[in-house]
A and B are shown apart, each in its own frame.
Chain A
Amino acid sequence: MGDTDTRSPARPRRPRKSKPQPETLVAYYRQMLLIRRFEERAARAYTEAKIGGYCHLNLGEEATVTGLMAALEPRDYLFTNYREHGYALGRGIDARRVMAELYGRSTGVSKGWGGSMHLFDTESRLLGGYGIVGGQLPLATGAALAIDYRGGDEVVMCQMGDGTTNIGAFHESLNMAALWELPIVYVVVNNGLGMGTTVAHASAEPELYKRAAAYRMEGAHVDGSDVIAVRDAAHAAVERARAESKPFLLETTSPRLRGHSVVDPARYRTAEEKDALKAADPLARLALELEESGFLDAEARDKLEAEVRAEVDDAAAFADESPHPDVSTLFDYTYATPVPGASRRLPADPVF
């Protein structure tokens, strides 16, 4: 939790941390473990050139991702940035379809058209990962506008990184959401870095949730390594957005364990920083908590581990065996309403 700034109209709520049932905690642990093993697998597949393009992982952010996803109802909508594999899994999308998208296969969530940065699934209402920093903010704001227009009771969650809070679209979106009283929760996953640039180096106000004050919006900060704290804070924000149709700015501190993307060796980090990160690993932290409270012994944990590994192996095998999209489908997704004259020309084809 950050400090309460009594002069600002945006007073951070202090989300109570509830006492969850053992099975809930174990389920969260499993979810976090799935994200961890999935991402490790993705990193490996990338070095094997099975995954192309950019590939940004959620390693270290598992508690944040799991806590946030636990706070949403199935009818709620989610927009994210390009660091979204964990969110897709947390939204309940089959690991096979997520991995297949990373492999660019036709069985992937976006049929191989999106790749790692652009997962989308209508059914689970994941309305996209977006590769342009901040690009998702106006879109998510508009989705909340549509909900408000129709008088629905869904909520939009819009995830972003800390670096995104300096983009113009951040200001424009939060201003409109507050002005129009839209049911949206903006979540800043503060992993301390935008690529290699620290928050302090890029943000005049490094306590990012305080920016809510500029829009008379409520904001709060939560420890992103504590899955229950994240869930409770997000749940309070989501339910308030639902009940009162008011936006909220939630910041979670959630260091990423590796580089910005798979190819980034993170040389900007000192050895001490790397050690500190390992010590703060949210997955290890939860495992220890579960063990100490007697909710999950070593044997049960091994069983979960084996299950999750099998699920990830299966996803990777599925992706590997899935077909690439057929080249004959190249022109299928330019327009939703077909038009005469839309080009179906391959590079060497004559125009006439």
Chain B
Amino acid sequence: MATVTYRQALRDTLRAEMLRDEDVFVMGEEIGVFEGSYKITEGLLKEFGPRRVRDTPIAEEGFVGAAIGAAMLGLRPVVEIMTINFSLLALDQIVNHAAKIYGMFGGQCSVPMVIRTPGGGGQQLGATHSQNVELFYSFIPGLKVLAPSTPAEASAMLKAAIRDDDPVLFLENLALYNTRGELPDEVAPAEIGRAAVTRTGTDITIVAYSRMAHVAAEVAERLAGEGVSAEVVDLRSLRPLDRETVVESVRRTGCAVIAEDDWLTYGIGAEIAATIQEGAFDWLDAPVRRVAMAEVPLPYSKPLELAALPSADSLVTAVRDTLRATGRR
């Protein structure tokens, strides 16, 4: 067991998977010679050479599509899209092709590929470089969308994603790369499609994923000091969605707050709120609350950006309000 960063866990896992399977290769902009914009692919070009670590032109639609085509012939490409913002240029290939090929051709051809891409605000990058648009992909049957929050989870889920026969969107958050966590010496591939109860509690359920799973843990810890027992559910997989774990938790606690790092309207939280309504309506003691990003293109200005992003403080407020609304305290 070692303590490593999220970044290191991804790097080690990629390397291990490339050593394990000759069909696994990585491609993307600046991943080879430059060793990755966020250095996830550091050292890989030196070790594996340009055949398996392929620098691409700035051509998101082209190289994502090329990875899909390579996967159709049985290779297992792991594509890095510099940030999720640029994945929008590859939307046609991801949505109309990667997600559709298996079904559209009657199951004759699968697309075993992974698209890794970071997202998120908080870096003062302005409107076009600070967003989480995982919703677009989570909407699409045929895709699998993963958003691990810890190094151990990132490792287990990346392994699972690479070995899976379907196209997997693997979401990283810029704020997570330097976070640390324990990484067991042997990591088994995760089971795709399972949420985790990362902290048990009896008073309220906080549903979160990716960066917000950390914020939720912090908030639960803070509120424990006030005698609140919060349960935290980390979704981890946005598609398929583990509705059962969410609903079971809410049936136990009787109320829920959803913490999401995307925009409120039509967001991931809307889907979770609907799920709770459908699965735990009779158990609810208070309306479901959502804590989400302010619905603006994110500003560059530091105070404005901070005000727009969901934080521990905003989550604490929502949890307290919800508990008050239950009448239990």
Closest to A137 in B: B65
Contact A142 B69 (CB under 8 A): yes
Contact B67 A127 (CB under 8 A): no
A145-B66 CB under 8 A given contacts A127-B72, A342-B193: yes
The reply on B197 being an interface residue by CB < 8 A is no
Contact B68 A339 (CB under 8 A): no
Max chain B CB contacts within 10 Å: which of A135, A139, A180? A139
A167 to chain B, nearest CB (A): 9
Distance of A341 Cα from B275 Cα, bound (Å): 13
Contact A138 B68 (CB under 8 A): yes
The reply on B242 being an interface residue by CB < 8 A is yes
Distance of A168 Cα from B90 Cα, bound (Å): 11
Segment from B103-111, B150-158, B252-260, B305-313 that makes contact with A: B103-111
Task: Select one of B72, B107, B242 contacting A332, CB under 8 A.
Answer: B107
B74 to chain A, nearest CB (A): 7
The reply on B129 being an interface residue by CB < 8 A is no
Distance of A66 Cα from B30 Cα, bound (Å): 43
Distance of A141 Cα from B110 Cα, bound (Å): 17
Task: Select one of A144, A333, A343 contacting B240, CB under 8 A.
Answer: A343
The reply on B241 being an interface residue by CB < 8 A is yes
Provide the residues of chain A in CB contact with B51, threshold 8 Å: 149
Max chain A CB contacts within 10 Å: which of B63, B73, B109? B73
The reply on A147 being an interface residue by CB < 8 A is yes
Provide the residues of chain B in CB contact with A120, threshold 8 Å: 104-106, 108-109
The reply on B247 being an interface residue by CB < 8 A is yes
Provide the residues of chain B in CB contact with A271, threshold 8 Å: none
A340-B106 CB under 8 A given contacts A139-B97, A172-B59, A335-B166: no
Provide the residues of chain B in CB contact with A332, threshold 8 Å: 107
Contact B279 A351 (CB under 8 A): yes
Q: Which of B160-204 contact A (CB under 8 A)?
A: 164-166, 191-194
What 0/1 readout, one digit per residue, does chain B (51-92) give for beta carbons within 8 Å of chain A? 100101101011111111111111101000000000000001
B305 to chain A, nearest CB (A): 32
The reply on A327 being an interface residue by CB < 8 A is no
Contact B141 A140 (CB under 8 A): no
Max chain A CB contacts within 10 Å: which of B69, B96, B102, B194? B69
Provide the residues of chain A in CB contact with B192, threshold 8 Å: 337, 339
A138-B106 CB under 8 A given contacts A146-B74, A334-B141, A352-B278: no
Contact B105 A138 (CB under 8 A): no
Provide the residues of chain A in CB contact with B247, threshold 8 Å: 352
Contact A168 B61 (CB under 8 A): yes
What 0/1 readout, one digit per residue, does chain A (70-103) give for beta carbons within 8 Å of chain B? 0000000101000000000000000000000000
Distance of A113 Cα from B104 Cα, bound (Å): 5
Our count of residue pairs bridging A and B at CB distance below 8 angstroms stands at: 179
Distance of A110 Cα from B101 Cα, bound (Å): 11
A112-B72 CB under 8 A given contacts A138-B62, A138-B93: no
Contact B166 A337 (CB under 8 A): yes
Contact B61 A113 (CB under 8 A): no
Contact A128 B105 (CB under 8 A): yes
The reply on A143 being an interface residue by CB < 8 A is yes
Contact A340 B66 (CB under 8 A): no
Distance of A28 Cα from B45 Cα, bound (Å): 49
Distance of A306 Cα from B229 Cα, bound (Å): 82
Instruction: Give the size category of B's interface with A.
Output: 35 or more
B27 to chain A, nearest CB (A): 9
Contact B194 A145 (CB under 8 A): no
Instruction: Give the size category of A's interface with B.
Output: 35 or more
Contact B72 A142 (CB under 8 A): yes
Q: Which of A313-344 contact B (CB under 8 A)?
A: 332-337, 339-343
Distance of A79 Cα from B65 Cα, bound (Å): 13
Provide the residues of chain B in CB contact with A173, threshold 8 Å: 62, 65-66
Provide the residues of chain A in CB contact with B244, threshold 8 Å: 341
Contact A179 B57 (CB under 8 A): yes
The reply on A169 being an interface residue by CB < 8 A is yes
B147 to chain A, nearest CB (A): 15
A138-B166 CB under 8 A given contacts A128-B101, A172-B59, A352-B243: no
B282 to chain A, nearest CB (A): 11
The reply on B7 being an interface residue by CB < 8 A is no
The reply on A261 being an interface residue by CB < 8 A is no
Contact A145 B240 (CB under 8 A): no
What 0/1 readout, one digit per residue, does chain A (272-309) give for beta carbons within 8 Å of chain B? 00000000000000000000000000000000000000
Contact A113 B106 (CB under 8 A): yes
Distance of A63 Cα from B35 Cα, bound (Å): 49
Provide the residues of chain B in CB contact with A347, threshold 8 Å: none
The reply on B6 being an interface residue by CB < 8 A is no
A143-B240 CB under 8 A given contacts A110-B104, A114-B106, A135-B97: no
Provide the residues of chain B in CB contact with A339, threshold 8 Å: 144, 192-193, 240
The reply on A111 being an interface residue by CB < 8 A is yes
Q: Give A residues with C-beta under 8 Å from B.
A: 77, 79, 108-114, 118, 120-122, 127-128, 130, 132, 135, 137-147, 149-150, 168-169, 172-173, 175-176, 179-180, 332-337, 339-343, 350-352
Q: Give B residues with C-beta under 8 Å from A.
A: 25, 51, 54, 56-57, 59, 61-75, 77, 92-93, 96-97, 101-112, 141-142, 144, 164-166, 191-194, 237, 240-244, 247, 274-275, 278-279
Closest 6 A/B residue pairs (Cβ):
A138-B65, A142-B69, A172-B62, A111-B106, A336-B110, A142-B66
Could you list some 23 contacts between A and B, CB below 8 A? A77-B73, A110-B106, A111-B107, A113-B106, A114-B106, A128-B105, A137-B65, A138-B62, A139-B68, A142-B70, A143-B70, A149-B70, A169-B92, A172-B62, A176-B59, A332-B107, A333-B103, A334-B102, A334-B142, A339-B144, A340-B240, A351-B278, A352-B247
